Amino acid sequence: MNADVLKRVAKQMVAPGKGILAADESTSTVEKRLAQVNVPSTEENRRAWREVFFTSPGIGEYISGVILYDETIRQSDSKGRPFVKVLEEAGVLPGIKVDQGLKEMDGSPLEKLTKGLDGLPGRLKEYGGLGAKFAKWRAVITIDGNTLPSDANIRQHAKDLAAYARACQEEGIVPMVEPEVMMEGAHTMARCEEVSRKTLTAVFEELQSAGVLLEGIVLKTNMIVPGKESGPKATPDEVAEATLRVFKDVLPAGLPGEAFLSGGQAEVEATENLNAINQRGPHPWAITFSFGRALQGSALKIWSGKAENVAAAQKAFLHRAKMNGLAAEGKYSSEMESK
């Protein structure tokens, strides 16, 4: 473990005014995305879709890193340049999703755990050889009334995240630690806050117990928001107040930064919430974004699988990235959307 390298890369991932593009959707998830615009999910179409983003002119101005999928880290652009090299030449860190999806939790079939610890050191070594500088592992925590998640589910997710993070650092790869409290459900914002607090507390207990270098990780978690089926959405100020209340109580000062997942929020909604959180700064940690759909949605609709639409799709993507980059510094306003 090279602590200096881990610290440097982690800080680079949460550099001021930049965030991380989550382009690590599995093949089955990409198939659903492409189906929205009537594009068949062939390997070539998936490759072309990724190329729209990775070759966007000036991507490195707003994007510090990109999380890749196993298929994508092995692909090249239309000119034959490996995607990893394309990103590196743009000043963007290549990352890799290393978890292997979800499985039912023994004794609690309504809850999920994450697969992928078996064989992880070998996969990390291979991905490091392919150029990955950081990795990501997602834990899914589901709220169902006042009974789920169970304490056992939260604790096992925390232990697995810690084991993953330790394995990454031993291979010289910065771990993104992603415990996601899901938006799906009719739960209140207060219930999301309660579960998020309990989850993050357990995660940092297990990270410290496993000997993970906290200065060499990046947290990726949810904002505190009400469940999608609960009724009216929370205002950006309400989201900021609740989220920071948890963060100030739980996150260690040595953490380099937090890169929020969008969790199904609409594009502008996610930007407005991120901005409200940063307007209440400065904070002990950088607070930025690691969005997937909230960076790619508009660009996908514009692209629709047509080469003649690539430039317009890239323009939409870069606009969204710029808006979020501004929000990561608390400098965003809705008037900027139309400029």
Q: What is the mean pLDDT of residues 224-245?
A: 96
- How crowded is residue 169: how many other Cβ atoms within 10 Å of its Cβ? 23
- 44 contacts: CB under 8 Å, gap ≥ 6: none
Q: Does residue 275 carry a pLDDT above 90?
A: yes
- Residue 26 to residue 7: CA distance in whole angstroms: 29
For residues 88 and 54, what is the distance between their CA atoms, to the nearest angstrom?
Answer: 10
Residue 174 phi, psi (nearest 5): -75, 125
Could you tell me how many helices (H) and strands (E) the chain has, helices first?
A: 12, 10
Query: 224: pLDDT confidence band, cut at 50, 70 and 90?
Result: very high
Query: What pairing do the DSSP bridges indicate for beta strands 257-260 and 102-105?
Result: unpaired
Q: Which of 112, 206, 220, 329 is catalytic?
A: 220
Check residue 310 and give its pLDDT: 98
The total domain count for the chain is 1
CA distance 203 to 83: 33
What's the CATH code of the domain at 180?
A: 3.20.20.70
For residue 214, the model assigns a pLDDT of 98
pLDDT at residue number 126: 98
Please list the residues that pair with 108 across neighbouring strands: 105
Residue 336 DSSP label: G
DSSP E strands, 154-281: 174-181, 218-219, 257-260
Q: Say what percent of the chain tops pLDDT 90.
A: 97
Please state the rounded mean pLDDT for residues 8-21.
98
Q: Is 147 exposed, middle or buried (0-12, 13-18, 19+ CB in 10 A)?
A: exposed
Position 145 scores a pLDDT of 85
Q: Is position 220 annotated as part of the catalytic site?
A: yes
Residue 1 pLDDT greater than 80, yes or no: no
Is the pLDDT at 55 greater than 80, yes or no?
A: yes
CA–CA distances in Å: residue 125 to residues 13, 49, 173: 20, 27, 9
Task: Compute the distance between CA of residue 106 and CA of residue 156 in angstroms, rounded to an integer.
Answer: 11
pLDDT at 149: 98
Cβ-contact 251, 285 below 8 angstroms = yes
Can you tell me the distance from the alpha carbon of 63 to that of 258, in angstroms, rounded to the nearest whole number? 15
pLDDT at 109: 87
65 DSSP β-pair partners: 20, 93
Percentage of the residues of the chain whose pLDDT score is greater than 70: 100
Q: Mean pLDDT across the stretch 120-125?
A: 98
What is residue 72's three-state secondary structure?
helix
Domain interval for residue 139? 3-338
To the query of whether residue 178 is one of the catalytic residues in this protein, the response is: yes
pLDDT one-digit tens code per residue, 79-90: 999 999 999 999
**CB neighbourhood size of 163 (10 A):** 16
Tracing tokens 């030449």 back to the chain, one arrives at 89
How does pLDDT run across 89-109, given as a tens digit for each residue?
Answer: 999 999 999 999 999 999 998
- Which residue is it, tokens 């297990």? 206
What are the structure tokens assigned to 248, written together? 């100030």
* Distance between CA atoms of residues 209 and 107, nearest Å: 26
Task: Encode pLDDT of 133-173 as tens digits.
Answer: 999 999 999 999 889 999 999 999 999 999 999 999 999 99
CA dihedral 206, 211, 213, 218 (to 10 degrees): -30
Burial of 315 (0-12, 13-18, 19+ CB in 10 A): middle
Instruction: Please pick, among 51, 111, 171, 178, the residue that the annotation labels catalytic.
Output: 178
Q: pLDDT at residue 131 above 80? A: yes
Q: How far apart are CA 253 and CA 132, in angstroms?
A: 27
